[in-house]
Amino acid sequence: MICLFYCTIAIGQEDAWVYFTDKPNASTYLNNPASILSQRAIDRRQKQNITLDTRDAPIEQAYYDAIKNTSGISVMAKSKWLNAIHVRGSEAAIGDLMNTFSFVTSIDFANKLLNNRASNQQQQANHLNKLAVQQDFNYGNATNQIEMLKGDYLHLQDFTGEGMIIAVLDAGFPNVNTLGAFQRLRDNNKILGGYNFVERSTNFYTRNSHGTHVLSDIGGYIEGQFVGTAPDASFYLFITEDHQRENPLEESLWVEAAERADSLGVDVMNTSLGYSTFDDSSYNYSYADMNGQTTFITRGAEAAASKGMLLVNSAGNSGNSAWFYITAPADAASILTVGAVNASRNLASFSSRGPTSDNRIKPDVMAQGSSSAIVNYISGVPVGASGTSFSSPIMAGAVACLWQAFPNKTASEIIEAVKMSGDRAETPDNNYGYGIPDLEVAFTRLTEENDIALSDVKIYPNPVGSQLTFTFTNSLAEYYIELYNVLGKKVRTYANLTTNTVDVSGFSKGIYILKMMYQDEYKTFKLIKR
Query: One of 86, 127, 155, 210 is an active-site residue; which one?
Result: 210
DSSP SS3 for 6: helix
Contact 519, 453 (CB under 8 A): yes
315/320 Cα distance (integer angstroms): 13
Distance between CA atoms of residues 514 and 253, nearest Å: 44
Question: Are the CB atoms for 270 and 32 separated by under 8 Å?
Answer: no
Catalytic residue list contains 170: yes
| Candidates 216, 314, 389, 421; catalytic one | 389
Q: Check if 389 is active-site.
A: yes
- Percent composition of the chain: helix, strand, coil (DSSP 3-state, to 5): 30, 25, 45
Residues contacting residue 492 through CB under 8 Å, at least 6 positions apart: 482, 483, 507
Q: Which ranges in 316-460 belong to alpha helices (H)?
A: 388-405, 411-420, 439-454
Told to judge if 86 belongs to the known catalytic residues of this protein, a careful annotator would answer no
Which run of H or E residues covers position 106? strand 104-109
DSSP line for 317-353: S-TTSS--B--BTTT-TTSEEEEEE-TTSPBPTTS-B
- Give the pairing of strands 490-497 and 501-503: unpaired
Other beta carbons within 10 angstroms of residue 141's beta carbon come to 18
**Alpha carbon distance 471, 460 (integer Å):** 8
Give the DSSP letter of residue 83.
T
Element (H, E) at 467: strand 467-471
Residue in 15, 152, 170, 217 annotated catalytic? 170
Please list the active-site residues: 170, 210, 389
